[in-house]
Structure 1
Amino acid sequence: MTASANLPLIDMSGVREGDPASIRRAGEAIRQACVDIGFFYIVNHGVPQAVIDRAMAAAAQFFAYPAETKRQVAVNKRHRGWHALGGATMYEATKPDFKEFFSMGLELPEDDPSVLAGEALRGPNQWPDFMPQMREALAEYYTEIGKAGADLLKAVAVGLGIDVDFFSSKYQKTLQRTQMVYYPPHPPMAEADQFGVAPHTDYGCITLLYQDNSGGLQVRELSSDSWIDATPIAGSLVVNVGDLLAHWSNNRFRSTLHRVINKSGHERYSIATFFDPTYSAVVDPCDLGIDAATSRYQPVAAGDYILKRIDDSMAYRKKA
């Protein structure tokens, strides 16, 4: 696989070790990427390939089970578990996404203070009894990708010209969500408005995506107003800015439309992680040095914003 000519590739070497020069170099590259397009690849991100491989193998095995089996862990009100084909419809889309996914989050017991307080999306995960090894594989990936996300935010902070540790206090009890995603082959006679994932922007701060070799992820390039391919690159993660970070930065960093069309002729698998702050963390452009008079966005609790976007796009929540 070769690098896409359209999206920047950023080397994260030295960032995990806390090397100031490495963080500054990565931060400058991230700033340019986020101002220009809002998407980029990272390599040397610290997530062991063996951990990635186990999680991807678990995804392939899980989605191969029949629907009646997967339904044992059907999505619950906490947005944890299996989402069946047709369960998500992006805003302004005319058809549901042609995908399945399994969603997990921070593992919290029922007596955790956030759960007892009724904080939405919080609680224990749903793990399939019929596939016990999936819990270990996905939990390990969740931990490692979370470390990569925390490293990345240090460079993001530098790119925004704020203190390198600004985001750490906002991520004390992260709302990180990780999803294994399965895309069947795109129907050969599908209409033009059928997508694996319809054009959308992500809800939160940053997304870290591992994709297989199938291709299909496309990004809307502002300068050309056309769709460009995010070609798979071995060992890389695709990163994009979400709406919350765009708001936090007062639109200095872009949240960019993207979509998936799986025209590979075979199944496509990916693992998306939405690395978002503590539920109650206040997202306010003024905290990033923006004058109140020029701020485009009112302060909002991160969790409240994300919850509304989930409510708007997920069929099971509309039924409830």
Structure 2
Amino acid sequence: MKPAPVPVLDLATATGAELVAGLQSSSCVFLTGMATFGADLAAMLASARAFFALPEREKSPVRWDGTGPWQGWQPVYDSGPAASPMERFELALPDPDPFPDADEWAGAFGQWPGHPAEFRSTWARYYRTMRELANHLVTELAKALSAPAADLPAWTARQHSNLCVNHYLAQAEPPEPGAIRSGAHTDIGGITLLWAENNPGGGLEARLDGAWVPVVFPPDALLLQAGDLLRWWSGGLIPANEHRVINPRRAPDVEQTDRYSVVFFHHPDLDAPVGPAATARTHVMRRQQDSYTLPS
């Protein structure tokens, strides 16, 4: 049987029940109908491309130091024999409400690159757009799931969310055996809001109905993916989305190009208890240690 396509929901009309039904059936849904998403994305992605184009010596001052949750620049291609051929930049910001202005709020993150000059403002603006969208989505999901009202502040005002841009390197030469752009996994957190380039010959795949299915983004759409913590919060009703990013085919008609994806990983307050883990932080750090670490 052919796997079902990823559902598409218009946020202008979609209900919480429709979100739950789509995630329950497919573990991911496309979202359309977001007014400010495109402009904020384009500006942030342009600054990310400029940063990744810098030489390593100019990116190294904001490199992740190997302790605590992932943040800053991460040259994943330099993390071991079967390292993924990619690099990324990642940040987390707190609830903006207690801060007097956007600049002071952005200053809560301490690893901003010095170049390009617009990096900080464009990333902070996109982060806020996605944070507000995540608040709306988890509020609607909570209503449809009849989740305890006391749970919700940990998933909204006190959320811990990471904005990450992945830069998958062009593979001019065949990758090392076992090296893949991103191996099969579920995301650690509650929900993921993903934009990615549609690359011919290789890209995002999701496991749907037991088969790996290419995920092709419609114009002006985000992919909403369920993560481990949403699976637990829903009592197992919503499955976590298993996905991977495959290497491009090596064929004369397939150009080997860079690929970019922009990911907003939404988690509840890391000190909140969720599912079998003592806290969300326990699960996040355990999964992180099993994934990418700096070489010793």
- TM-score band w.r.t. shorter chain: 0.7 to 0.9
Cα separation, 1, equivalents of 2:189 and 2:287: 9
Matched, 1:103 2:90: yes
Matched, 1:57 2:46: yes
SS at the partner of 2:15?
helix
* Alignment match of 1:283 (pick from 274, 278, 283): 274
CA separation of 1:156 and 1:107: change in aligned 2, threshold 3 A: closer
More divergent stretch after superposition (158-167 vs 246-255):
158-167
- Give the TM-score taking structure 1 as reference length: 0.77
CA separation of 1:164 and 1:6: change in aligned 2, threshold 3 A: farther
Cα separation, 2, equivalents of 1:299 and 1:67: 37
Runs of 5+ unmatched residues, structure 2: 100-107, 249-254
Cα separation, 1, equivalents of 2:86 and 2:186: 17
CA separation of 1:268 and 1:72: change in aligned 2, threshold 3 A: same
| Structure 1 residue ranges (4+ consecutive) displaced by more than 6 angstroms after TM superposition | none
- Structural mapping, 1:249-264, within 5 Å: 249-263=234-248
Cα separation, 2, equivalents of 1:164 and 1:39: 25
* Aligned 8 A contact 2:76 2:292 in 1: no
Matched, 1:12 2:11: yes
SS at the partner of 1:272?
strand
Cα separation, 2, equivalents of 1:26 and 1:262: 36
Percent of pairs with identical residues: 24
Residue in 2 aligned with 1:18?
A: none
Runs of 5+ unmatched residues, structure 1: 14-21, 113-122, 285-297
**Could you tell me how far 1:178 is from its partner in structure 2?**
0.7
* Aligned 8 A contact 1:179 1:272 in 2: yes
Cα separation, 1, equivalents of 2:160 and 2:280: 9
* Aligned 8 A contact 1:183 1:262 in 2: no
Residue in 2 aligned with 1:307?
A: 285
Matched, 1:174 2:165: no
CA separation of 1:169 and 1:315: change in aligned 2, threshold 3 A: closer
**Could you tell me how far 1:261 is from its partner in structure 2?**
2.1
**Could you tell me how far 1:208 is from its partner in structure 2?**
0.5
**Could you tell me how far 1:67 is from its partner in structure 2?**
1.5
Cα separation, 2, equivalents of 1:60 and 1:26: 36
* Aligned 8 A contact 1:45 1:148 in 2: no
Cα separation, 1, equivalents of 2:277 and 2:258: 41
Cα separation, 2, equivalents of 1:88 and 1:250: 35
Residue in 2 aligned with 1:28?
A: 17
Residue type matched to 1:64 in 2? A
- Structural mapping, 1:1-320, within 5 Å: 6-13=5-12, 22=13, 25-76=14-65, 77-78=67-68, 79-86=70-77, 95-106=82-93, 124-162=109-147, 167-186=152-171, 189-190=174-175, 193-214=178-199, 216-221=203-208, 223=209, 225-263=210-248, 265-284=256-275, 298=276, 300-316=278-294, 319=296
More divergent stretch after superposition (187-196 vs 126-135):
187-196
**Could you tell me how far 1:86 is from its partner in structure 2?**
2.3
CA separation of 1:47 and 1:305: change in aligned 2, threshold 3 A: farther
More divergent stretch after superposition (209-218 vs 130-139):
209-218
* Aligned 8 A contact 1:107 1:125 in 2: no
**Could you tell me how far 1:198 is from its partner in structure 2?**
0.8
CA separation of 1:35 and 1:250: change in aligned 2, threshold 3 A: same
Question: What do the CA deviations read for 1:137-180 (whole angstroms, capped 9, x no partner)?
Answer: 10111111101111111222233244689523443322101101
Residue type matched to 1:153 in 2? V
Cα separation, 1, equivalents of 2:128 and 2:165: 15
Question: What do the CA deviations read for 1:200-228 (whole angstroms, capped 9, x no partner)?
Answer: 1111110001113436110011x2x2210
Cα separation, 2, equivalents of 1:6 and 1:188: 33
Cα separation, 2, equivalents of 1:28 and 1:107: 29
- Give the TM-score taking structure 2 as reference length: 0.83
Residue type matched to 1:39 in 2? C
**Could you tell me how far 1:125 is from its partner in structure 2?**
3.2
**Could you tell me how far 1:257 is from its partner in structure 2?**
1.5
Residue type matched to 1:306 in 2? V
**Could you tell me how far 1:30 is from its partner in structure 2?**
1.7
More divergent stretch after superposition (171-180 vs 181-190):
181-190
More divergent stretch after superposition (46-55 vs 182-191):
182-191
